[in-house]
Structure 1
Amino acid sequence: MRTRLQRLLTDLGAWLSRPWVVGLVLLYAALWFVFDPGSFGWHAVAVIATLLMTLFIQRSEHRDTQAIHAKLDELLRANGDARNQLTRLDDKEPEQVEEFRTRAQASE
């Protein structure tokens, strides 16, 4: 159950980094304004701004992570001495990656 939840959260983070999710937030804001304009005050603007900032940060982090992975993948392909375990490390959960790093540092 725990691993399924971890995988769900990882997949949700990747899903939320898509550009069309910003459109969903803007649609939500528009519907809120149309159906309940009386409650659409500074609090609503703050909520929408917080959601959008969170999505922008998530998008930026996802882009940076994907770029780093692409660069590392290329380095691993270019270096024939790399261990095969490293090529699939990005498919693991963050806790598994940390455990791998801890074991690798201990063996140095």
Structure 2
Amino acid sequence: MAKSIQRFLTNAGTLLSRPWAVGVVILYAVLWIIFDPASLNWHGIVSLATLFMALFIQRSEHRDTQAIHAKLDELLRVNSGARSQLTTLDDREPEQVEAFRTKAQSADENR
């Protein structure tokens, strides 16, 4: 159960970084204005602004992460001494990546 929740959260974060997510919020706002304009007070405007900001931040973080991954993939590709298992590390769940980093750090400290 916990693994499926972790996978869902990871996939949801990736999906919410797509441009169509902003379109969904815009559609929601338009439908709100059409069907219940009286309830769109300052609380509603703040809620919509919060949704937009969360999506913008998620998009920015996803873009930065993808750029870092692309750069690291290139470095791993050209470095023949790198372990091949590192190239697929970004396909794993965040907890697995953290466990790998902890294991690698402890191996470095034992040298």
Q: Distance in 2 between matches of 1:21 and 1:103?
A: 37
Q: Which amino acid aligns with 2:36?
A: D
Q: Distance in 2 between matches of 1:37 and 1:77?
A: 55
Q: 3-state SS of the aligned residue for 1:82?
A: coil
Q: Which 4+ residue blocks in structure 1 deviate beyond 2 angstroms?
A: none
Where does 1:4-83 land on structure 2 (aligned, <5 Å)? Answer: 4-83=4-83
1:37 is displaced (CA, Å) by 0.9
* Structure 1: runs of 5 or more not aligned: none
Q: Distance in 1 between matches of 2:45 and 2:77?
A: 48
Q: Distance in 2 between matches of 1:72 and 1:3?
A: 27
Q: Which amino acid aligns with 2:12?
A: L
Q: Distance in 1 between matches of 2:92 and 2:20?
A: 26
1:104 is displaced (CA, Å) by 0.5
Q: Distance in 1 between matches of 2:32 and 2:10?
A: 29
Identity between Structure 1 and Structure 2 (%): 67
Give the TM-score taking structure 2 as reference length.
0.95
Q: Distance in 1 between matches of 2:87 and 2:28?
A: 40
Q: 3-state SS of the aligned residue for 1:81?
A: coil
Residue deviations 1:50-93, cap 9 Å, x none? 00000000000000000000000000000011111111100111
Q: Distance in 2 between matches of 1:41 and 1:48?
A: 11
2:93 is aligned to 93
Q: Which amino acid aligns with 1:13?
A: G
* Structure 2: runs of 5 or more not aligned: none
How many matched pairs? 108
Q: RMSD over aligned Cα, in angstroms? A: 0.6
Q: Distance in 2 between matches of 1:81 and 1:46?
A: 52
1:10 is displaced (CA, Å) by 0.3
